[in-house]
Amino acid sequence: MKMREEYTCPLELTHDMIKGKWKPVILWQLSKGPASLSALKKEIAGISQKMLLQHLNELQSCGVVEKKTFEGYPLKVEYFLTPRGHKIFGAVTIMQEVGIEIMREDKITK
Amino acid sequence: MKMREEYTCPLELTHDMIKGKWKPVILWQLSKGPASLSALKKEIAGISQKMLLQHLNELQSCGVVEKKTFEGYPLKVEYFLTPRGHKIFGAVTIMQEVGIEIMREDKITK
DNA sequence: CAGCATCCGATCTGATACTG
DNA sequence: CAGTATCAGATCGGATGCTG
């Protein structure tokens, strides 16, 4: 991922934050509230642990997601959206709405 | 790109529509009004013709963009957003806004 | 001006196996 | 449960040259 200063336009910056196959779905899940790694893995059908972690790390490094680690056994970690994450989630919401509309339209067309 | 029926969730569908390095910027430009290939190329700094065309084709095949071809020489073509394109543009708008905010925040932090 | 084909390196994704 | 390492295949992106 780029350093912040390298972005020439705002869209490029934000696009980086939601690019990747699973980022919108991860944000969607986290918008419901904090979640552990295993919970996310369960809720997001088809994602591999590697990709989940990789995307979570990217989301953290651009300030969209943070995590809280609880000491002890078994290990417990909670991922959650930052204020910035909630802002970007606004875009994801629209994506979801448009997607629903389109799927509905396509059903009617059939 | 997938066939419509293969999408399991709306977000996956919409994500396909804006994924790719240049799609948000292309939608941004087209939101200002119809534009020719060369106009887009001029307005979008750094894009290659190949990627521009490829993304425009993908946007067309998911019903976000259409084009109108005018016969004659020199050839003239206009790309423009469909109603569906305008809906998705709503998400792009938020991306832009969030991006601007973040860039501003980062400047203050410095 | 609009659009296609090809080649190549970079990046992304996923399966699997392993650590604290 | 959380997280890392690695390897192979798929996809993406960009440069270049060619066609109508």
Q: What tens digit of pLDDT does each residue of A68-93 get? A: 999 888 899 999 999 999 999 999 99
Dist. CA B63–CA B1, nearest whole Å: 12
- Beta-strand pair A76-81/A65-70: antiparallel
Contacts of B2 in chain A (CB under 8 A): none
Strand D and B100 CB separated by under 7 Å:
no
Which residue approaches C4 most closely, CA to C1'?
A: B50
- B10-105: which CATH topology? Arc Repressor Mutant, subunit A (1.10.10)
Output the average pLDDT for chain B. 93
Tokens of B27: 């939608």
Q: Residue B74 has what pLDDT?
A: 86
Q: CB neighbours (10 Å) of residue B73?
A: 5
Confidence of residue B17 (pLDDT cuts 50, 70, 90): very high
The beta-carbon neighbor of B10 closest among A10, A12, A96 is: A96
Residue with tokens 């994506």: A95
Contact B11, A95 (CB under 8 A): yes
Q: How many residues does chain A have?
A: 110
Q: Where do the domains of chain B lie?
A: 10-105
Tokens of A94: 């629209």
Strand C within 7 Å of which CB atoms in B 21-80?
Answer: 36-39, 49-50, 53, 56-57, 67, 69, 74-77
Higher pLDDT, B6 or A21: A21
Mean pLDDT across B74-84 = 95
Q: Is A109 a residue whose pLDDT tops 80? A: no
Q: Residue A5 has what pLDDT?
A: 60
From the CA of A49, how many Å to the C1' of D3?
9
Q: Any bridge partners for residue B62, and if so which? A: none
